[in-house]
Amino acid sequence: MTESVVEILLVEDNPSDVELTLHALRKNNFTNRIHVVRDGEEAMEFIFCEGSYSGRRPEEGPKVVLLDLHLPKVSGLEVRDIVDSYQLGVNSYIVKPVDFNQFTEAVRTLGLYWILLNNPPILR
């Protein structure tokens, strides 16, 4: 049985927050493929396999999106439109805590739930 590659999309425009997030992921032994994009427009292109990501196949992820809400070009709120997301098959999401210790704990929990236990929704 082959394991599918789990991808994490990190959408963050602040370089310091990118480094803190990557540090928290490494600290919690995440070895997944992590893609970093710097604004909401690039996030949408990645998710929908458009623009510079048109060669990417939609079924290759991402399984988890860590999304800053205050982004240039397209806000994180627009990217995270929950109603549209659920219609596209998203079945859960979390809000990134601001406090670093809480964020590190959220990353640990993320590993247990979103990566190992959470299954894609059954589309009808």
Q: Residue holding tokens 């600290």?
A: 27
Tell whether 28 is covered by a domain.
yes
Tell whether 33 is covered by a domain.
yes
User: Residue 95 in contact with residue 66, Cβ under 8 Å?
Assistant: no
Domain count, the chain: 1
Tell whether 100 is covered by a domain.
yes
Domain that holds residue 58: 7-117
Tell whether 69 is covered by a domain.
yes
Query: Could you report the average pLDDT of every consecutive run of 10 residues in the chain (124 residues)?
Result: 64 95 89 89 88 86 85 84 69 75 83 68 54
d(CA 56, CA 21): 24
Residue 42, pLDDT score? 93
Tell whether 2 is covered by a domain.
no
User: Residue 46 in contact with residue 9, Cβ under 8 Å?
Assistant: yes
Residue 1, pLDDT score? 37
Residue 12, pLDDT score? 95
The values of phi and psi at residue 34, to 5°, are -115, 125
Q: What is the CATH number of the domain that holds 102?
A: 3.40.50.2300
Tell whether 50 is covered by a domain.
yes
